[in-house]
Structure formats: C-alpha cells, structure tokens
C-alpha cells in the first residue's frame, strides 16, 4: 500500500512538471477505418465505395492539431489531389478534410468552418460536452491513456436521431483539454478519437516545438449558431422528402 501511494505521488508530480513546462504543442493524426462498425446498411455498393476510398487513402491524409494553454486549431494538412484520384478526394471529404475547427477553453467557444451547399459557414457552439469517464486504459505510443464515451443529449434522444457512437482516449500526462474535430474538455489531450467507423489516432506528438504556434480563428464564412445550422438542415431535408 505504501509503495502504491509513492507511485501515485510520483505520477502526479510528473504530470504537474509537464503542465508547467509545456505551453504549446502540435499533434499529427492519421485516420483508420473500423469495418466492423458499419452495422446494417442496405446499399452495399455505397458501403464498398466508402471502404475502398478510405483504405486506399489513409497514408496520404493527415490532420494537424495545434494548441497553446487557451486555444487550439484543427484542420487537414493541405496537399495536392491529382485529377485522376477521385477516391482521394472522396476520402478527404468523408474524414472532414473540408472542415476547420477552433476551440477556446477560456471563453468556452467552439467554431467549425465548413463548405455547405456552395457557401462557407462558421458554426458557433459551446465546448461543453458530457463525457462518461471509464477506468479502461491503454498505451498510445509512450503515453498512458484512459477511455471516455460521449453521452448523448436529451434532445437527441427525444428526437430519436441516430448519431454515431463517439469515444476518446485521453492522456492525463498531457494536461490540455483539446482533441481532433473540436472535441475535448477532458482531463487530458485526446490522442485517439472514434466517430462511428472512423478513428483519428495521434501519429506524431510535439510538445513545445521550436517554431512559434500561431492559432487563428476561422474566417471568411457566414457566422451561424449550431441551432440555426440544425434548422437549416431540417428545412433542406423537408424539401427533399
């Protein structure tokens, strides 16, 4: 029992030292496809096209999270898509390559910039998310991580909207409340995020990189609240039906 207390104390000391010494960071993420998470989908032709595009493109698409003590930015690392590689363009779209995220943990602000129906929108929302923390753990690289599951809101349950399951593996030793695709607000940096059948996993972690980290809010888009954007989607869906 005494040895356990010593180990816990040493762990907490190391975490505090890292928090004091780290002010900025860069994390590169690669995506992976979990083919067991598709469930029952009638149109198998679309499913196979989906799988093929993602599997062929996984080594070519990378995403970058940059952060400081207050803010973070997440977006695709830009690259040129040849005209004859439509599967690469498709995979970029599926994995969120046209999206850009900004998070501020002080103001609780979250911005998501997307291209939609020919327009650019900047969707504003709060970063407050309800997570269920678990004791399940694993290592990602040299970092010890814990698993958390995102709880579905009552609005989603009442509307009977089927949303993908979202799970995160966060590292308490890197005490920054950020992650890919605008997710965060956990007691540690998210090193792996699973949204439905797609996972985003850290492939390179740089703490206090030599180059200056400059985080800029998304610009050049129509600012709209998350509720307003949801209403827009509802109206479009009604027109189609």
User: Residue 19: pLDDT above 60?
Assistant: no
pLDDT in tens, 164-188: 789 999 999 999 999 999 999 999 9
Q: Identify the pLDDT of residue 10.
A: 41
Phi, psi (deg, nearest 5) at residue 225: -80, 165
DSSP 176: -
Contact 166, 193 (CB under 8 A): yes
- The most confident of the ranges 94-98, 155-159, 235-239 is 94-98
DSSP 138: E
pLDDT in tens, 96-134: 999 999 999 999 999 999 998 889 999 999 887 789 999
DSSP 194: E
In the chain, where do the E strands start and end? 25-33, 63-67, 71-76, 100-104, 109-116, 119-126, 131-140, 143-150, 166-171, 189-195, 198-207, 222-225
Q: Identify the pLDDT of residue 47.
A: 78
pLDDT in tens, 182-217: 999 999 999 999 998 999 999 999 999 998 898 989
Residue 40 banded pLDDT, cuts 50, 70, 90: low
DSSP characters over 151-164? PPPHHHHHHT----
Average of pLDDT values for 205-232? 91
Instruction: Mention every residue, 6+ apart, whose C-beta is less than 8 A from residue 134.
Output: 146, 147, 148, 149
């Amino acid at each position: 029992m005494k040895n356990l207390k010593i180990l816990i104390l040493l762990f907490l000391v190391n975490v505090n030292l890292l928090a004091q010494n780290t002010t900025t960071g860069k994390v590169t993420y690669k995506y992976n496809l979990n083919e067991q998470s598709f469930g029952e989908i009638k149109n198998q032709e679309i499913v196979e096209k989906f799988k093929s595009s993602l599997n062929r493109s996984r080594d070519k698409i990378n995403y970058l999270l940059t952060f400081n003590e207050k803010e973070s930015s997440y977006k695709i690392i830009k690259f040129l898509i040849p005209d004859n590689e439509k599967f690469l363009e498709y995979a970029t779209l599926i994995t969120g390559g046209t999206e850009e995220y900004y998070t501020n943990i002080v103001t609780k602000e979250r911005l998501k910039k997307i291209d939609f129906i020919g327009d650019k929108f900047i969707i504003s929302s709060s970063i407050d998310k309800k997570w269920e923390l678990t004791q399940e753990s694993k290592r990602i690289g040299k970092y010890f991580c814990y698993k958390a599951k995102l709880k579905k809101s009552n609005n989603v349950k009442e509307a009977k909207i089927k949303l993908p399951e979202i799970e995160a593996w966060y590292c308490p030793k890197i005490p920054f409340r950020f992650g890919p695709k605008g997710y965060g607000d956990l007691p540690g940096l998210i090193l792996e995020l699973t949204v439905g059948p797609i996972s985003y996993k850290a492939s390179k972690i740089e703490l206090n990189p030599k180059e200056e980290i400059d985080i800029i809010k998304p610009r050049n888009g129509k600012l709209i609240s998350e509720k307003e954007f949801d209403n827009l989607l509802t109206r479009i869906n009604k027109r189609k039906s």
